Structure 1
Amino acid sequence: MTKKNLILTILGIGIGAIAGYIYYNEIGCVSGTCAITSKPLNSTLYGGLMGGLFFDLFASPSKKKSDT
């Protein structure tokens, strides 16, 4: 993993975590039975995971060394 790819993934985690918390704060779950949006920690972690995975899509693939 290159430094550029790592920075891009970390940026995605940060943006996703912020978006997850905003989602909890603005929409949330009134009844408390929703698995992801019932607690701010769950929403933040889930948003960070999704953001990291989404931003990782835009990372350039690393080049493999050929043994031959």
Structure 2
Amino acid sequence: MEKKQMTPQDRRKKRAMKIALGIVLGGLAGYLYYYFIGCDGTCPISSNPIRSILYGSVVGTLLGSAF
């Protein structure tokens, strides 16, 4: 059996899907961190759900693009 080679378009789609998955999972992790661990008012990241989601998404993007 021959192995099908990936085209450059397939590789780009796969990379984009990994990054998108990292963004979504990172945002979810950021929100869960805010919800279960977050503090009241004094913590710059975990006191605001939007900031937690954004920071989680950034970390998820970095991790998604690394693998």
2:54 to 41, 45, 58: 45
% identical aligned pairs: 47
2:17 to 1, 4, 7: 7
Structure 2: gaps (5+ residues): 1-10
Partner residue, 1:63: none
Provide TM-score, normalisation by structure 2. 0.80
Structure 1 runs (4+) deviating above 6 angstroms are: none
* Aligned length in residues: 57
Partner residue, 1:24: 34
CA RMSD of aligned residues (A): 1.2
What letter is aligned with 1:9?
I
Higher helix share: 2
Distance in 1, Cα, partners of 2:43 & 2:30 = 14
